[in-house]
Amino acid sequence: MSLVSLIDLPDLGDERGGLIAIESNQGIPFEIKRLYYIFNTTNQARGFHAHINLKQVAICLKGSCRFILDDGSKKEHVVLNTATKGLLIEGLVWREMHDFSEDCVLLVLASEHYDEADYIRDYDAFLREVDKPFIHPLSDVQSIKIGQKTKIWQYSVILSGASIGGNCNICAHTLIENDVVVGNNVTIKSGVYIWDGITLEDDVFIGPCVVFTNDKKPRSKQYPTEFPQTIVEKGASIGANATILPGIRIGQNALIGAGAVVTKDVPNNAIVVGNPAYIKGYTE
Q: Comparing C-alpha atoms, which of 31, 51, 40, 52 is closest to residue 109? A: 31
Task: State the Cα–Cα distance between residues 117 and 132, nearest whole angstrom.
Answer: 18
Which residue among 20, 29, 39, 46 contacts ligand T46 (CB under 6 A)? 46
**Does 37 contact ligand T46 by CB under 6 A?**
no
The count of other CB atoms within 10 Å of the CB of residue 116 is: 6
**Does 38 contact ligand T46 by CB under 6 A?**
yes
**Does 68 contact ligand T46 by CB under 6 A?**
no
By beta-carbon proximity to ligand T46, the closer residue of 106 and 231 is: 106
- Within 8 A by CB and 6+ apart from 68, the residues are 75, 76, 77, 94, 95, 96, 97, 98
By beta-carbon proximity to ligand T46, the closer residue of 111 and 163 is: 111
Could you give the string, one character per residue 78-97, with x where binding to ligand T46 holds by CB under 6 A and - elsewhere?
Answer: -----------------x--
**Does 47 contact ligand T46 by CB under 6 A?**
yes
Task: State the Cα–Cα distance between residues 36 and 205, nearest whole angstrom.
Answer: 48
By beta-carbon proximity to ligand T46, the closer residue of 58 and 266 is: 58
Which part of the chain contacts ligand T46 (CB under 6 A), choosing from 6-14, 33-41, 144-152, 153-161? Answer: 33-41
Which residue among 68, 108, 127, 172 contacts ligand T46 (CB under 6 A)? 108
Active site (annotated) includes residue 51: no
**Least Cβ distance, residue 88 to ligand T46 (angstroms):** 12
Task: State the Cα–Cα distance between residues 148 and 9, nearest whole angstrom.
Answer: 38
The count of other CB atoms within 10 Å of the CB of residue 267 is: 13
**Least Cβ distance, residue 5 to ligand T46 (angstroms):** 15
Task: State the Cα–Cα distance between residues 47 and 38, nearest whole angstrom.
Answer: 11
Task: State the Cα–Cα distance between residues 220 and 199, nearest whole angstrom.
Answer: 24
**Does 114 contact ligand T46 by CB under 6 A?**
yes
Kind plus residue range of the DSSP H or E element containing 129: helix 123-131
Catalytically active residues are 49
The residue ranges that bind ligand T46 (CB under 6 A) are 34, 36, 38, 46-47, 56, 58, 95, 108, 114
